Amino acid sequence: MKKLLFILLIFLTGLSSCVEEQNFDQWDDLEIIPTVEASILYVESPESVINDAPGAVWYIQTFNFDAFSEDFFAENVLDGVIVYELENTTSKDLEIIFEYLDDAGNVLDTEAFTIPPAPTAIIRRETTYGTPTGRSLDIIRNTSEIRVNASNFGDTTSTSSLPDPKVIFRSSAKFRLQLK
């Protein structure tokens, strides 16, 4: 019986020495900052549409875009970047303008691109928001619409010798959110 009590005492002492002191305040020190990425806009137009336009402006469209102004995003966004990619395989000199609008239709920010006729490389631009060298996050938080305006500075009769000539413009965003 003494041996059993001795073994039990050693076992219990061993158990108590293996338990670490718990820190229940770790939750306060936890930071959750995921990066979310999504497409914003994709527009593709064949050269024939550009040639058929009666004036220089061959495309203008305003898109409802409330993703940035949703409370969850607006309250938690830390910083981010919007990436634009434009590709022109037409015979046209083009200008494409992206405008970010608030609820009242006021222009908050603008990105303008001048694109020479084909053959050209894909134009890629990154615009940062919320960083010391970037633009204000208030632009993003207050955006409710995106307007795209495309103009033809070339003629309306020529056609590119490339197969399936068209212009493609797309944009995407990558933002960091503070969840805790």
Which pLDDT belongs to residue 91? 93
Cα distances from 41 to residues 89, 154, 173, in angstroms, run 19, 25, 10
**16 vs 55 pLDDT, higher one:** 55
Contact 82, 130 (CB under 8 A): no
Confidence category of residue 173, pLDDT binned at 50, 70, 90: very high
115: exposed, middle or buried (Cβ count in 10 Å: 0-12, 13-18, 19+) = buried
Span 145-173, average pLDDT = 92
Shortest CA distance to 80 belongs to which of 23, 126, 22, 11?
Answer: 126
With 90 as the cut, is the pLDDT of residue 22 above it? no
**21 vs 65 pLDDT, higher one:** 65
State the DSSP code for 9: H
φ, ψ dihedrals at 130, nearest 5°: 85, 0
CA distance 108 to 100: 5
